[in-house]
Structure 1
Amino acid sequence: MRTGQTSMTVLILPSLQGCMSALTSLKYPELRTSKETSSTSQYKHRTQLANRRVLILGCGETAMDIAYEAIKANAQSVTMCFRTGFLSFPKVLNRFQVFGKTTGGSLPIDGLITNLFETAYVHRAIAKSRLRWFVSDFAIKRVMWSLTGTQAGCNQHVGGLPSERLGRAYVFLNKSHKAMPYLNRPYKKRDPVLEFMGNKYLDPPEDANSDRWVDTCSFPSSINADGTVAFEPRPDRKDWRRLKDTPVKPDCVVYCTGYKQDFNWLSPSYPTADQTNIRNIIKHDQPSIAYIGFVRPGVGAIPPITGQQAMWWTALILGKMPLPTDPPHYHLLASKNSRIQYGVDHSAYMSTLARDFGGAPGLLELWQEHGWRVLLAYCFGASFVTYYRLIGPFRSAAAPEIAETELMQTIKRRGVAGNFFFGVVPMAFYGIINLAAYLLELVGLIPAEESVVAADNEATKVNGEVISHSREKESLIE
């Protein structure tokens, strides 16, 4: 398309979830309808960005990937625009220098969360309060400052979220970290205290030795006739103050503005994903229609969740579990106006589904059936699907061996210090808090929760037929 005398190529790169998605409404309809508009599948190689003046709209993982690709393609300039900010964490925490000693490791960050008293045996009042999230946020922010000089994220010196939204209770972690050395370059300063301590984050040598950078700024309010961008005034942001008098004239605009779920191809008689009120999977009065894979974890992967959801729904429609109607306590804390209302805490969600269909193991039961090694792996491990197939209707004969070998390796890779600080300390702390909550409930100081629907827990209609819910946890797997 042409704006004034300026030619622009517009790439629309939404993050799509299956086929039931649509682009978020774009700010500039004339860009959206350009003949040169292309989708994610048409982006094939970084040479498409070579020698271009690239403007990226958005700050999610796709935006970070495109920013890095543009730098490596030797783009003339790269500018990333966003309204609020992001929380950056690498997929693996392994590039730190602590007291002068370089750390290694290859454990993903979502493997650092333990089950016992953080996911399993958590009292509903503690889960509802999100206390675990706020406590861990408090600790992580201080640790990140002591290692990287910033609390905004891991080695994140620009694009920080407002303090009231900075934490795992509110946002999705941005785990595309490769572009951060280039975003940080105009803002990262020497910290004499950290230098004295010997603490710092080590960027990859190729990126650390580069003199390139990625500019950031507020979202565009308009594109002028001469092709320059007018940014929304944000005097509270240091990147806007730095760039407000610098002409930005892109010849390539990349939309990384996300997606929205759209089910207009379904009959109006069908509930949509946003109408599901039981575990974000079904609507209580239409349990034969399930939405699998339509939640998004703050940290963690969607595929394991889809497997857990599939087991949950299978158990429900086969009458192996009652319809759960207790209030959920796994949602991220989104504002009412937020575009995404289906964010969940991965561990809390997985554990909730497992408790519903009878796959959440008891500690004594684990020890008696599978021995202390499996018990130890479960307590110190993250919420892997295999743990919820050790017992219950989806019991697998292969699960104990996987727990003792593959999943035990994720625990060993933390090392002694990692298991102490990420395992023993949280277990002891949250164990005491959960015990106190159970005692308070025992003496009547914590009231019962109300059902989310006026539904009978003992029977549900599926395709017009009443199915009873057996309390027996007989196996659904041969």
Structure 2
Amino acid sequence: MDVLRLLRQMDSLDFMGYHRRNRPVDRGEAQRMDYFGDPYIDATWKANVPQGLLDRIRSWIVRTPVTEEIRPGRQVEVAPWPERIDETGAVVFRESDRPEYEKMKNETIKPDVVVFCTGYTHHYPFLGDHRYDEEYYEGKLVRKIWLRDDPSLGFIGFVRPNLGAIPPLTEFQAQLWVLNLLAPERVKRPLLPSDEPHYQLMRKNNARIRYGVDHESYAYQLALDMGSAPSFIDVLRIGFSSGNGGWYKLPLTWALSANFNTKFRLLGPWKWDGAPGVMNTELWDTVARRQIFFGHFTLSVVPMLIFGPMSFIVFLCASLYQFLRNIFRMLAPNRWKYGNNPERGSLLF
């Protein structure tokens, strides 16, 4: 079947979230599976042999799979945006200087199926009044889920993570929303707007996507709100009591893996008794099979070396700011009391 796949926008995939045969898969394994398209798309533009000295060195250190070795004769052609479909059923592509146009302009493509991945807009006419427009909710949603003055209306699954998939975050959102509705006293912390900027992705004023979040930070923030984020002591305690090597598997899986939903089912209002078993088996496998250098070192050690000192400096600055702020608050009454008293002098400058 000659199928033209028009991909206008390719979103990031949550490689650790996809499952095959009921077990998680990592990026390397996903590249060898039928449903993952990157090797097939890259095949058209990938040189058969390394180009240049640096490319040869890179190829000697790490070699990406070649499509012909995975699935001979199968690849996906990347085409430019279509101008129209003529009377014969062939696609006429929009002229451009991009390499995919140069490759496809002389090809006769008569697609059986055309998929337009044009995206969507948020519009809620069924809500009526002023609530139909997404601009009404800009900056008003608690954790990007519900209005602060109307928690009965929840928006689940509308955030866009930078890396990772939307469905896992949807589960976190549903958990927090339901918990706040049915048992608000079990929400462990005030849901302050000041806790939200750290997971919101920076954007331009005219950006189309205005609801981007950092997957790891957003997931952890919602877990903190629900009291589902275990401490290091909790992780050790649960690991020692779980058996099956959990005394070392569970802490390592917790530290070296992404923020899987299972990590936040170890305790809290949504505790699941099967979570330690999954951590010690399925999720442990995703950690144990990584390569030492291109797995653990590049994905764990290097980020810790870069962001660890930065986080420590930010922590020190924040602690100093809080200390000075408390001192200022203690002195503030005297400052305002004597500031306008000419006999006592002025503390205001």
User: What TM-score do the two structures reach when normalised by structure 1?
Assistant: 0.51
Among 143, 148, 153, the residue aligned to 1:284: 148
Relative to structure 2, which stretch is displaced further, 429-438 or 253-262? 253-262
Cα deviations by residue, 1:166-188 (Å, 9 ceiling, x for unpaired): xxxxxxxxx95436436633663
How far does residue 393 in structure 1 lie from its aligned partner after superposition? Answer: 3.3
Deviation string 1:307-335 (CA, Å, 9 cap, x unpaired) is 21122113322222233322333344555
Quote the offset at 1:220 in angstroms.
2.7
Which of the two has greater strand per residue? 1
CA contact (8 A) 1:441 1:447 kept: no
Hey, what's the Cα distance between the residues in 2 that align with 1:391 and 1:272?
38
Q: 2:15·2:164 contact (CA, 8 Å) conserved in 1?
A: no
1:295 is the counterpart of 2:171:
no
> Please, which moves more after superposition, 284-293 or 335-344?
335-344
Give CA deviations for 1:139-188 in whole Å, capped at 9, x if unaligned.
Answer: xxxxxxxxxxxxxxx9xxxxxxxxxxxxxxxxxxxx95436436633663
Distance 2:233 2:14 in 1: 37
* Shift in Å, 1:195: 5.0
Determine the C-alpha separation between the residues in 2 that align with 1:182 and 1:377.
Answer: 33
| Residue 323 (1) aligns with residue 187 (2) | no
Pair 1:223–1:402, CA change in 2 (3 A): closer
Alpha carbons of structure 1 residues 109 and 355: separation in structure 2 relative to 1, 3 Å: farther
Q: Measured at CA, do residues 404 and 181 of structure 1 come closer, stay the same or move farther in structure 2, by a change above 3 Å?
A: closer
Deviation string 1:65-93 (CA, Å, 9 cap, x unpaired) is xxxxxxxxxxxxxxxxx4xx64787948x
Is this contact kept in 2: 1:182–1:207, CA < 8 A?
A: no
Aligned to 1:37: none
Deviating above 6 A after TM superposition, structure 1's stretches of 4 or more consecutive aligned residues are 87-90, 271-274, 445-448
The question of 1:178 aligning with 2:37 is answered: yes
Give the aligned partner of residue 255 of structure 1.
115
SS of 2:49's partner is coil
Whether the aligned pair in 1 keeps the contact of 2:41 and 2:78 (CA below 8 Å) is no
Q: What amino acid is the match of 1:348?
A: S
Larger relative contact order, structure 1 or 2 (CA cutoff 8 Å, min sep 6): 1
Residues 43 and 67, structure 2, Cα contact 8 Å, conserved in 1: no
CA deviations on 1:251-276 (whole Å, 9 max, x unpaired) are 54503324424433334465677726
Over residues 236-258 of structure 1, what are the superposed CA-to-partner deviations in whole Å (9 max), with x where a residue is unaligned?
x22223444x2645354503324
- The SS at the match of 1:347 is helix
User: Which residue of 213, 217, 220 corresponds with 1:348?
Assistant: 217
- Answering whether residue 275 of structure 2 is matched by residue 399 of structure 1, we say yes
The answer on whether the counterparts of 1:88 and 1:176 sit within 8 Å (CA) in structure 2 is: no
Instruction: State how far apart, in whole Å, the 2-side matches of 1:413 and 1:397 are.
Output: 25
Structure 1 residues 315, 272: closer, same or farther in 2, change over 3 A? Answer: farther
Distance of 1:247 and 1:387 partners within structure 2? 50
Distance 1:400 1:247 in 2: 55
C-alpha contact (below 8 Å) 2:14/2:164 kept by paired residues: no
Gaps of 5+ in 1: 1-49, 60-81, 93-105, 112-153, 155-174, 449-478
Deviation at 1:281, TM superposition (A): 0.8
1:431 deviates by: 2.0
* Partner residue of 1:358 out of 218, 223, 227: 227
Instruction: State the shift of 1:345 in Å.
Output: 2.9
Q: Distance in 1 between matches of 2:301 and 2:255?
A: 10
User: For residues 276 and 75 of structure 2, what CA distance do their matches in structure 1 show?
Assistant: 49
Q: After superposition, what is the alpha-carbon deviation per residue over 1:433-462, rounded to whole angstroms, capped at 9, x for unaligned?
A: 2111101222229999xxxxxxxxxxxxxx
* Equivalent residue, structure 2, for 1:231: 93
- Give the CA deviation at 1:191: 1.3
Match of 2:328 in 1: none
- When you count helix as a share of all residues, which structure comes out higher? 2
Check the 8 A contact 2:220/2:229 in 1, yes or no: yes
Give the direction of change, closer, same or farther, for the CA distance of 1:446–1:180 in structure 2 (3 Å limit).
Answer: farther
Contact 1:360–1:388 (Cα < 8 Å) also in 2:
yes
Q: Percent identity?
A: 28
Give the alignment partner of residue 443 of structure 1, picking from 298, 312, 320: 320
Indicate which of 102, 124, 143 corresponds to 1:241: 102
Contact 1:279 1:328 in 2 (8 A): no
- 1:390-429 to 2 correspondences below 5 Å: 390-417=266-293, 418-429=295-306
1:218 Cα shift? Answer: 2.8
Q: What are the superposed Cα offsets for residues 389-410 of structure 1, whole Å, 9 maximum, x if unpaired?
A: 3333333444334333333232
Q: Which amino acid aligns with 2:177?
A: W
Closer, same or farther: CA 215–403 of 1 in aligned 2, 3 Å: closer
What letter matches 1:426 in structure 2? P
3-state secondary structure, aligned to 1:379: helix
CA contact (8 A) 1:90 1:176 kept: no
Contact 1:182 / 1:214 at 8 angstroms: preserved in 2?
Answer: yes
The structure with the larger Rg is 2
Change (3 A) 1:284 1:365: same
In the aligned structure 2, how far is the partner of 1:432 from the partner of 1:357?
A: 29
Tell me: CA distance 1:446–1:406, structure 2 relative to 1, closer, same or farther (3 Å). farther
Aligned counterparts of 2:226 and 2:13: Cα–Cα separation in 1: 33
Unaligned runs of 5+ in 2: 17-23, 241-246, 326-349
How much does 1:284 deviate? 1.9
- Residue of structure 2 in register with 1:56 after alignment: 5
SS at match of 1:323: coil
**How far apart, CA to CA, are the structure 2 residues paired with 1:436 and 1:383?**
24
Structure 1 residues 56 and 206, CA, compared in 2 at 3 Å: closer, same or farther?
same
TM-score of the aligned structures, taking structure 2 as reference length = 0.67
Partner amino acid, structure 1, of 2:170: T
The whole-number CA distance in structure 2 between the counterparts of 1:110 and 1:300 is 16
Structure-2 residue corresponding to 1:143: none
**Which residues in structure 2 correspond to 1:182-197 (within 5 Å)?**
184-185=43-44, 188-192=47-51, 193=53, 194=55
